Structures are given as C-alpha cells and as structure tokens.
C-alpha cells in the first residue's frame, strides 16, 4: 500500500470533531512516555510536560495527542509506564472524564489501534492503597486520524501521526519494535541513538515531509497536522499547509500547537531562570498566532 493510500484511508476513516472560534485546543505528540529508566526520553521533560498539562486543564483546553504518547517499543507493558508517570495519567484521566481527551495512535503505540487492547490495559488500574482496581480510561477511543471541522465555515484540519508516509515504520512496525527492544534500547543507555528513527535521520525526515506535502497538494491544499518526525513546522498562509507540533522529548523543552479564537500558534514550554536564580517553567510563543481562515483552500 502506497503512502497516498495510507493517508487517504486515515483521512476518510477519521473521526470528525466539530469546533468553532470559541474552542480551545492544544495538540501535542511524541511524548514517548517510558518507565523512568535511563532509556526514558520523556523523563527529562516530565515536570515541564506536567506543568503545561495542568495549565491546559485549568484553562479549559481540549487535549489532542497525535500519536507515540506511550513508548511501547522499548517497554513491553503499559503498567510500568503508568507507575513511572502516574501523576500524568491521573491528570489525563480528568481530561477524559470531562470529554476533553482525544488520542491518536502512532508507530510506537500502534497496539492501541485494537480497542480490546486499550480496554484491557488502559481501562482500569490497580490502586495499592485501596487494594482494588479503579477506572482509568474506560471507553477511550484511539484513532488513526481526526478531522476537526469548523461548524460555521466547514474548514477542516486533518490530524494524524504522520507515520503513514513512513513505509518501514508503518508496514513493518513489529520488526522496528523488535530491533528497538533487543538492540537500540541497550545502546541508547550508553548514548547510541536508533538510526532508523526519522527524528534522528535527517534524510528520512525530509523524505517523509515531502511525501506528506505532495499528498496535501494533490488533495487541494488540505490542512494537515502531524508529528512523528519531531521537527516543528509552522507554514505561513499561502504556503503548503503542513503543520508539525514537534515533540515532548526535545532537550529540556516541549513544543506543541495551540488553537484558540480561530487562530493557530506554535508554542514551546521550557525551564527558565529568574534574575534571583529561581527555576520556573515558562511558555514561549514561537510562531503565530495566524488565523485559520487565512489557510483556506485556493
């Protein structure tokens, strides 16, 4: 199956979610939450991420995670990840209970495309204090794609992970998972990165981006937002409308996209110091805000 057919299928089978200019949404991806070991890239940024997540919860944002939220190539079971970052999942649970949590599956958590797997492993958790299982993400649906559809203008934003344009990591993800578990995870501990990852292979990153942009052009400048490559992208109005929210495993920072008041922005959260030497987590505006209506099809 070609990358065009994979993207077409994800688009046509995508869940449609309405929004308007009063909607507040944050789009993050590639958290790669792990087991808090030396190979857990998320562990370095977990305090930054948790602070940002609390901000978005308080401010009434809907949370969209565009795949690779959980690192299920290096880790066999969700249980170890949950125990390492329980505070994160309990906050995500609050989003879910209020109907503000929307999740996509990527290549590193592709097992979540099976609803039965999600219900079995994410539906409940064991609470040792009470000695019983309690609800976690009951009824949670993981999607391959989501189409945000403006209620008045009909404008659509297509959300996907982006690995649909990555032949090896989509079709042969099980082989990639095997190699990561038995080879690259031990090497990562001593500082050797996986060369098959597009986030660490510049030529593959460019190839994937070109494929997605070609698909966008062939489909009437369809606004598309993805992750996967970890490289943030924020086009100007009139350019090919291909956005990328970056990742949550940048060195000492996380990036994402915010949609608010009918505008889209690229933001970064990082640790900064005051003049008194106090560490604090701050939000920085990198690009935008730009009106979504300025990205209308030509």
CA–CA dist 72, 107 (Å, integer): 9
Query: Which residue matches tokens 């100007």?
Result: 236
What is the per-residue pLDDT for 116? 96
Query: In terms of residues, how long is the chain?
Result: 298
Rounded CA separation 78/72 (Å): 7
* Confidence at residue 282, expressed as pLDDT on a 0 to 100 scale: 96
Which one-letter DSSP state was computed for residue 183?
I
d(CA 45, CA 36): 11
Sign, CA dihedral 46-50-56-57, equals: positive
- Quote the tokens at residue 41: 């890239």
The side-by-side arrangement of strands in the sheet containing 263-273 is 142-143, 101-104, 62-66, 24-28, 253-260, 263-273, 279-291
Enter the DSSP assignment of 165.
G
Domains of the chain in start order, with CATH, are 3-111+138-295 (3.60.21.10)
At residue 85, the pLDDT reads 97
pLDDT, one tens digit for every residue, the chain (298 residues): 688 899 999 999 999 999 999 999 999 999 999 999 877 889 999 999 999 999 999 999 999 999 999 999 888 889 999 999 999 999 999 999 999 999 999 999 989 999 999 999 999 998 888 888 999 999 999 999 999 999 999 999 999 999 998 866 666 556 566 666 566 556 555 455 555 555 566 788 899 999 999 999 999 999 999 999 999 999 999 999 999 999 999 999 999 999 999 999 999 999 999 888 899 999 999 998 999 999 976 4
Question: What share of the chain has pLDDT > 90, as a percent?
Answer: 74
Radius of gyration of the chain (CA): 19
Q: Which pLDDT does position 176 carry in this prediction?
A: 67
Q: According to the model, what pLDDT value does residue 249 have?
A: 95
**Quick one: pLDDT at residue 128?**
86
pLDDT at 203: 80
Q: How many CB atoms lie within 10 A of CB 63?
A: 20
| 120 Cβ contact list (under 8 Å, min separation 6) | none
pLDDT tens sequence across 23-56: 999 999 999 999 998 778 899 999 999 999 999 9
How far apart, in whole angstroms, are the C-alpha atoms of residue 226 and residue 286? 17
What was the pLDDT predicted at 193?
57
């Amino acid at each position: 199956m070609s990358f065009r057919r994979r993207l077409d299928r994800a688009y046509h089978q995508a869940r449609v979610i309405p929004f308007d200019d009063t909607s507040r949404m944050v789009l993050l991806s590639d958290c790669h939450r792990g087991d808090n070991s030396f190979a857990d890239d998320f562990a370095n940024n977990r305090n930054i991420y948790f602070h940002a997540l609390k901000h978005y919860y308080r401010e009434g944002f809907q949370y969209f995670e565009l795949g690779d939220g959980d690192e299920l190539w290096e880790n066999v079971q969700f249980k170890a990840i949950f125990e390492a970052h329980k505070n994160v999942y309990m906050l995500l649970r609050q989003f879910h209970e209020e109907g503000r949590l929307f999740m996509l599956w990527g290549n590193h958590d592709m097992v979540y495309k099976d609803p039965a797997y999600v219900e079995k492993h994410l539906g409940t958790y064991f609470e040792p204090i009470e000695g019983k299982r309690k609800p976690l993400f009951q009824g949670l649906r993981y999607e391959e794609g989501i189409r945000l559809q403006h209620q008045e203008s009909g404008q659509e934003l297509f959300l996907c992970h982006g690995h649909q344009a990555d032949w090896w990591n989509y079709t042969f993800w099980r082989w990639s998972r095997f190699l990561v578990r038995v080879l690259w995870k031990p090497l990562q501990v001593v500082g050797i990165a996986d060369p098959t990852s597009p986030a660490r292979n510049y030529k593959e990153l460019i190839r994937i981006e070109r494929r997605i942009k070609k698909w966008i052009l062939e489909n009437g400048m369809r606004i598309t937002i993805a992750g996967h490559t970890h490289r943030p992208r924020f086009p100007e109005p009139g350019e090919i409308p291909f956005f990328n929210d970056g990742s949550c495993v940048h060195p000492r920072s996380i990036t994402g996209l915010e949609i608010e008041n009918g505008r889209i922005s690229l933001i970064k959260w990082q640790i900064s110091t005051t003049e008194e030497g106090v560490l604090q987590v701050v939000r920085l505006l990198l690009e935008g805000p730009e009106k979504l209506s300025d990205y209308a099809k030509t």
